[in-house]
């Protein structure tokens, strides 16, 4: 269905426009053209589908709306009153163009609920796989046209078959329903959470880079674990965990199948790492992706525990390690060190994070003491709020061929 290709937010806006009969048809057409340009969606054909259930091309729908502007004006002159958009559209499409043979009058709210049910999974109340394919293709076209980032998150309930075998399929359905509830609460209005199939889920994240997708996926993973810990399922306490994989446009793929395949590969990696884990697809095949550090990021290097800190500049940082630029004397390869990072935590309070680390590589600039680049591996993963303080969030993409700013 054409109307199903819009996000919930855009669908609400479009339905509000169509419901407001005070808006002239010419003004509505101008809004639809603006929506098509700004959001890269077939606004005219979608609006016509909502009004009449006709499926025609965007170009044909735009011409019909132009004719409808004139027809509504003629009816106003003939009747001495405005019959409204819907009556004018039914008269024009039935009696003038004869595109509707036997139109049926249906309350728009009922029609909206009917259309929503066609793209919704009844068990989880998430979008179904059919809508997932349409929405991913649409968002990729929009991302390409406007040089925007996009991430795809694939999620899978760990050891779901074992849960089903032990507790029964009714219990399994309750677990999936709880998953749908957690996902709906976690995502933004612009995101598209779907049940991909069985115990696997997908979330389309427009205008989101890999770090943003990772942050959301980690929150979902932790919320799922906490939800089942705090509240038994059907009166039975059970431990449920989630694994996920992330692929991003355009670095990991530029078409739907490439992104799905690579997000799945990242999901399989998360399973191999022991489940209850989020992995990103990346060519380096590291356990965690490294992100460029902010130009203002600074850290303190302690060559021995409790010793004085020397300032160093992180070049890139991941949850598992960092690459540091050191101006003075450098640590020896395989040395044990401590790093301190400063910033604000999730509540906005100033704090410091201290991490023990092991030096894995030293690249001197020249003679010893002239400075070096030092790669280190943390003994414990860097917390998410600390990572966010250190790394440079991705900005707009450079213009792509065929796209525009």
Structural domain contains residue 362: yes
CA atoms within 13 A on the CB side of 22: 1
Q: Considering the candidates 139, 199, 320, 330, report the single residue annotated as catalytic.
A: 199
Question: Quick one: tokens of 286?
Answer: 């590291």
Look at residue 347 in the predicted model and tell me its pLDDT.
65
Note the pLDDT of residue 393.
55
Instruction: Please tell me the predicted confidence (pLDDT) of residue 399.
Output: 44
Q: Which long-range contacts (CB under 8 A, 24 or more apart) does 127-130 make?
A: 127/192, 127/193, 127/194, 127/195, 128/194, 128/195, 129/194, 129/195, 129/196, 129/197
10-residue averages of pLDDT along the chain (405 residues): 50 74 75 83 81 81 86 86 80 81 54 62 92 91 88 95 88 93 90 93 93 88 90 85 93 92 92 87 61 81 76 86 83 85 72 87 72 88 76 50 37
Q: Within a domain: residue 405?
A: no
Query: Which backbone phi and psi does 214 adopt, to 5 degrees?
Result: -65, -40
- Tell me: do 105 and 149 sit in the same domain: no
150: left (phi over 0), alpha (psi -120 to 50) or beta: beta
Q: Is 254 a catalytic residue?
A: no
Same domain, 252 and 308: no
Residue 165 lies in a domain: yes
Could you tell me if 366 and 329 are in contact, meaning their C-beta atoms sit under 8 angstroms apart? no
Last residue of a domain, one of 81, 96, 118: 118
Q: Please report whether residue 401 resides in a domain.
A: no
| Structural domain includes residue 317 | yes
pLDDT value for 89: 81
Identify whether residues 363 and 330 lie together within a single domain.
Answer: yes
397 located within any domain? no
Q: Of 118, 146, 168, which residue constitutes the final position of a domain?
A: 118
What CA–CA distance (Å, rounded) separates 181 from 107?
Answer: 29
Please list the alpha-helical segments (H only) found in 97-255.
Answer: 108-118, 129-146, 160-167, 169-186, 210-230
Say whether both 174 and 271 belong to one domain.
yes
* 124 assigned to some structural domain: no
By DSSP bridging, strand 309-317 and strand 321-326 are: antiparallel
The confidence score (pLDDT) of residue 398 equals: 46
77 and 165 inside one domain: no
Domain coverage including residue 13: 2-118
Residues 133 and 111 in one domain: no
- Helix 210-230 vs helix 169-186: angle between axes, to the nearest 10 degrees? 130
Angle at 289 between CA 284 and CA 290, to 5 degrees: 100
Q: Are residues 139 and 223 in the same domain?
A: yes
Residue finishing a domain among 96, 118, 140 = 118
pTM over 0.85: no
- 59 and 136 within one domain: no
On whether both 175 and 239 belong to a single domain, the answer is yes
What's the CATH code of the domain at 241?
3.30.70.270
What six digits make up the tokens of 392? 């440079």
Residue 140 DSSP class: H
306 and 263 co-located in one domain: no
Domain CATH number, residue 316: 2.40.10.220
From CA 360, how far away is CA 178, in angstroms rounded? 43
Q: Say whether both 231 and 340 belong to one domain.
A: no
What's the pLDDT at 52?
76
Q: Are 280 and 268 in contact (CB under 8 A)?
A: no
Q: 192 and 89 in one domain?
A: no
The per-residue b/e assignment along 229-260, b for 16 or more CB within 10 angstroms, e otherwise, is eeeebeeeeeebebbbbbbbbbbbbeebebbb
Answer yes or no: is 395 within a domain: no
Exposure pattern of 99-137 as b/e (b: 16+ CB <10 Å)?
ebeeeeeeeeeebbeebbeebbbeebebbbeebbebbbe
Domain count, the chain: 3
């Amino acid at each position: 269905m054409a109307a199903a290709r819009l996000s919930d937010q855009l669908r609400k806006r479009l339905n509000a426009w169509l419901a407001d009969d005070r808006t002239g048809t010419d003004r509505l057409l101008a809004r639809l053209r603006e929506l098509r340009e700004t959001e890269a969606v077939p606004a005219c054909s979608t609006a016509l589908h909502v009004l009449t259930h006709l499926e025609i091309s965007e170009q044909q729908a735009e011409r019909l709306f132009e004719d409808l502007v004139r027809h509504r004006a003629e009816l106003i002159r003939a009747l001495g009153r405005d019959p409204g958009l819907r009556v004018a559209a039914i008269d024009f499409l039935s009696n003038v163009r004869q595109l509707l043979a036997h139109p049926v009058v249906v309350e728009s709210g009922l029609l909206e609920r009917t259309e929503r049910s066609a793209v919704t999974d009844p068990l989880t109340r998430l979008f179904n796989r059919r809508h997932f394919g349409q929405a991913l293709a649409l968002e990729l076209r929009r991302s390409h046209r406007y040089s925007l980032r996009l991430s795809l998150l694939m999620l899978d309930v760990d050891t779901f078959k074992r849960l089903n075998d032990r507790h029964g399929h009714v219990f399994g359905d309750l677990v999936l329903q709880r998953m749908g509830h957690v996902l709906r609460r976690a995502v933004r209005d612009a995101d598209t959470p779907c049940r991909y199939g069985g115990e696997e889920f997908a979330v389309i994240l427009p205008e989101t880079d890999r770090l943003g997708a990772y942050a959301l996926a980690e929150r979902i993973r932790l919320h799922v674990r906490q939800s089942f810990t705090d509240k038994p399922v059907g009166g039975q306490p059970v431990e449920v965990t989630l694994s996920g994989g992330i692929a991003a446009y355009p670095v990991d793929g530029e078409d739907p199948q490439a992104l799905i395949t690579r997000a799945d590969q990242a999901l399989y990696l998360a399973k191999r790492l022991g489940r209850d884990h989020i992995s990103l697809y990346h060519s380096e095949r590291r356990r965690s992706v490294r992100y460029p550090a902010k130009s203002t990021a600074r850290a303190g290097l302690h060559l021995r525990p409790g010793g004085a800190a020397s300032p160093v500049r992180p070049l890139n940082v991941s949850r598992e390690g960092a690459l540091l630029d050191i101006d003075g004397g450098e640590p020896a390869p395989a040395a044990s060190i401590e790093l301190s990072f400063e910033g604000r935590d999730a509540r906005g309070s100033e704090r410091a994070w201290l991490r023990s680390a092991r030096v894995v590589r030293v690249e001197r600039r020249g003679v010893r003491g002239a400075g070096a680049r030092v790669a280190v591996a943390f003994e414990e993963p860097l917390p998410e709020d600390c990572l966010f303080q250190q790394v440079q969030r991705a900005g707009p993409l450079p213009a792509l061929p065929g796209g525009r700013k």
